[in-house]
């Protein structure tokens, strides 16, 4: 990684918005670059100043009382359609604090390892978002599955089955390596219209139990099987679109 | 008393994130009374405007409403700048006094003075940079959440954050070095 790229990525790294693979590369550059180190130290000094020296004003008790009083006042009952929407908000809100700031609308109850499951889900969403925030969500840019597959083989223990669905409107555009928990996994990146789809090839150890789609902040996660391997897909496409892609992938796997 | 599920959620949301809302309002408006009023407005608006919530992060949705209420107050205030509230806090008063780089040299290393410097310099920043710094550094929101609060693309968040940090660093450096030539 050259210094120009590193200095572009520096704030993203500092704010915890880079995927882990890119973070590692950045750290490798950081070890050797005094000016990037200095810039990072400066950003951190500013943050410490703001956190410890700038005032974080607490809401006065009078305001709290005002809001509590307003909350206790009766309101006209709302239309039923709003209730459904708000129940979803309620669920996401409750989970937001469980998940430490993530709104996780996971409806996969009854799974024996819900916490592990939601940890996995969070990792997958976080990887997808970081990749979107990074300069490029792709380490190897190629629309050719015969290029993408060997690229992984040189860098990671597993060489995933790579398929292209360009004819059906979901074009392979490349791949990257990302982390799920502490495992390095291959991620295949597809494009559909303006949307990117990340397909995480999951190691056997972390195959999720649930099958229902999970929604979070306008993104959807689906699971499928691609060429006999378990995969998780994350995208900001709407659910029906992503489900269509999932069914397509599942069907092509069965056709083998 | 009628209580709908939606109402309960807004109440809990507002009360749970009341400090974050007030802190944002206080930094945007600079006055305790205005901040409290803006948060109260925001609560009433949130309780009425359930249907504007389109999924996603609830805290970001609530803070977006708070921010809009604050900006509305700022717009009214800038039309009538003669009514600037100088409240009892010295940092606010100092904003309206002529500023020189040579104030209180002997107190420079005093931590309360340092705190005041940060406050003053942060208040001096244009609102677009101030708010993004408050949300990221003090409230610790992610880029995605900040983008939701500001209702802007993530790229805008990143560029404003970078610019805001650079401006604040520069201001603090100039403020901290006595007699440093300005206009570097």
pLDDT over threshold 60, residue A248 = yes
DSSP annotation of B96 reads: T
Q: Does A80 touch chain B (CB under 8 A)?
A: no
- pLDDT digit string, tens, across residues A97-131: 544 433 333 333 334 455 666 777 877 887 787 77
Closest CA in chain B for residue A236: B56
Task: Please give the residue that has the higher pLDDT: either A31 or A256.
Answer: A31
Beta carbons of B19 and A88 less than 8 Å apart: no
Taking one residue from A and the other from B, the number of pairs with CB-CB distance under 8 angstroms is: 164
Beta carbons of A46 and B172 less than 8 Å apart: yes
When mean pLDDT is compared over A106-110, B15-19, B83-87, the highest value belongs to B15-19
Angstrom distance (rounded) from CA B55 to CA B68: 19
Residue of A149, A203, A236, A187 whose CA lies nearest to A22: A187
Measured between CA atoms, how close is B87 to chain A, in angstroms? 15
Closest CA in chain A for residue B114: A53
Pick from A46, A60, A63: which is nearest to B169 by CB?
A: A46
Task: Please give the residue that has the higher pLDDT: either A105 or B79.
Answer: B79
- pLDDT digit string, tens, across residues A124-160: 887 787 777 665 667 777 778 888 888 887 777 777 8
Measured between CA atoms, how close is A160 to chain B, in angstroms? 30
pLDDT-wise least confident of A113-117, A162-166, B37-41: A113-117
Whose structure tokens read 């749970």?
Answer: B16
pLDDT over threshold 50, residue B83 = no
Q: Does A135 touch chain B (CB under 8 A)?
A: no
Q: Does A88 touch chain B (CB under 8 A)?
A: yes
pLDDT over threshold 50, residue B33 = yes
Beta carbons of A89 and B58 less than 8 Å apart: yes
Measured between CA atoms, how close is A74 to chain B, in angstroms? 5
pLDDT over threshold 50, residue B103 = no
Closest CA in chain A for residue B166: A43
pLDDT-wise least confident of A228-232, B30-34, B98-102: B98-102
Beta carbons of B58 and A59 less than 8 Å apart: no
Residues B31 and B92: beta-carbon distance below 8 Å: yes
Res. B65 pLDDT band, cuts 50 70 90: very high
Task: Please give the residue that has the higher pLDDT: either B154 or B84.
Answer: B154
Angstrom distance (rounded) from CA A109 to CA A150: 39
Q: Which residues of B94-110 are buried (b: 16+ CB within 10 A; e: fewer)?
A: beeeeeeeeeeeeeeee
CA B70 to chain centre: 9
What is the percent of chain A with per-residue pLDDT over 70, rounded to a whole number?
Answer: 77
- pLDDT digit string, tens, across residues A40-85: 999 999 999 898 888 889 999 999 999 988 888 755 433 333 444 4
Q: Considering the entire predicted model, what is its pTM?
A: 0.52
Q: Does A133 touch chain B (CB under 8 A)?
A: yes
**Tokens standing for A129?**
């978002």
Measured between CA atoms, how close is B177 to chain A, in angstroms? 16
DSSP string, B31-81: -HHHHHHHHHHHHHHHHH-GGG--SS-HHHHHHHHHHHHHHHHHHHHHHTT
- pLDDT digit string, tens, across residues B113-165: 666 788 889 999 999 999 999 999 999 999 989 998 998 898 999 999 999 99
DSSP annotation of B107 reads: G
- Identify all chain B residues contacting A86, using CB atoms and an 8 Å cutoff: 4-6, 9, 50, 53
pLDDT score, position A151:
80
pLDDT score, position B54:
60
From the CB of residue A39, how many other CB atoms can be counted at a distance below 10 Å?
A: 17
Angstrom distance (rounded) from CA A69 to CA B13: 15
CA A250 to chain centre: 22
Q: What does the pLDDT average to over B13-21?
A: 93
DSSP string, A22-54: HHHHHHHHHHH-HHHHHHHHHHHHHHHHHHHTS
- Backbone dihedral region for residue A193 (phi beyond 0: left; psi -120 to 50: alpha; all else: beta): left
CA–CA–CA angle B117, B18, A12 (5° rounding): 60
pLDDT over threshold 50, residue B92 = no
pLDDT over threshold 70, residue B87 = no
Beta carbons of B55 and A88 less than 8 Å apart: yes
What is the percent of chain B with per-residue pLDDT over 90, rounded to a whole number?
Answer: 45
Q: What does the pLDDT average to over A187-206?
A: 84
Angstrom distance (rounded) from CA B130 to CA B163: 10
- Identify all chain B residues contacting A94, using CB atoms and an 8 Å cutoff: none
Res. A223 pLDDT band, cuts 50 70 90: confident
């Amino acid at each position: 990684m050259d210094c120009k790229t590193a200095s572009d990525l520096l704030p993203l790294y500092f704010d915890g918005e880079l995927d882990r693979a890119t973070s590692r590369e950045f750290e490798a550059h950081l070890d050797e670059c005094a000016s990037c180190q200095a810039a990072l130290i400066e950003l951190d000094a500013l943050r410490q100043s703001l956190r410890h020296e700038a005032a974080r004003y607490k809401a006065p008790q009078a305001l709290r009382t005002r809001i509590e009083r307003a909350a206790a006042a009766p309101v006209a009952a709302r239309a039923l359609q709003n209730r459904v929407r708000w129940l979803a908000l309620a669920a996401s809100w409750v989970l937001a604090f469980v998940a430490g700031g993530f709104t996780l609308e996971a409806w996969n109850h009854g799974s024996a390892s819900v916490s592990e499951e939601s940890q996995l889900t969070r990792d997958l969403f976080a990887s997808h978002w970081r990749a979107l925030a990074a300069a490029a969500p792709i380490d190897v840019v190629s629309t050719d599955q015969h290029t993408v597959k060997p690229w992984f083989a040189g860098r990671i223990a597993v060489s995933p089955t790579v398929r292209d669905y360009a004819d059906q409107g979901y074009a392979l555009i490349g791949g990257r390596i990302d982390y799920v928990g502490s495992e390095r996994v291959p991620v295949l990146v597809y494009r559909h219209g303006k949307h990117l789809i990340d397909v995480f090839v999951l190691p056997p150890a972390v195959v999720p139990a649930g099958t229902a789609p999970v929604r979070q902040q306008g993104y959807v996660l689906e699971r499928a099987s691609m060429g006999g391997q378990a995969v998780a897909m994350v995208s900001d496409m709407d659910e029906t679109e992503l489900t269509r892609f999932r069914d397509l992938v599942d069907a092509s796997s069965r056709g083998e | 008393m009628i209580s709908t599920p939606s109402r309960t959620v807004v109440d809990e949301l507002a009360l749970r994130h009341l400090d974050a809302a007030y802190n944002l309002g206080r930094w945007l408006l600079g006055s305790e009374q205005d901040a409290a009023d803006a948060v109260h407005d925001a609560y009433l608006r949130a309780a009425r405007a359930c249907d504007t919530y389109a999924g996603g992060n609830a805290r970001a949705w609530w803070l977006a409403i708070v921010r809009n209420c604050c900006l509305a107050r700022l717009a009214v205030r800038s039309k009538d700048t003669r009514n600037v509230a100088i409240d009892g806090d010295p940092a606010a008063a100092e904003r309206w006094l002529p500023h020189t780089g040579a104030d209180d040299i002997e107190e420079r290393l005093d931590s309360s003075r340092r705190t005041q410097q940060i406050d003053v310099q942060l208040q001096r920043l244009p609102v677009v940079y101030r708010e993004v710094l408050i949300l990221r550094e003090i409230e610790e929101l992610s880029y995605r959440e900040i983008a939701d609060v500001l209702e802007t693309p993530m790229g805008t968040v990143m560029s404003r954050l970078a610019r805001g940090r650079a401006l604040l660093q520069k201001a603090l450096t100039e403020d901290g070095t006595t007699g440093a030539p300005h206009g570097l």
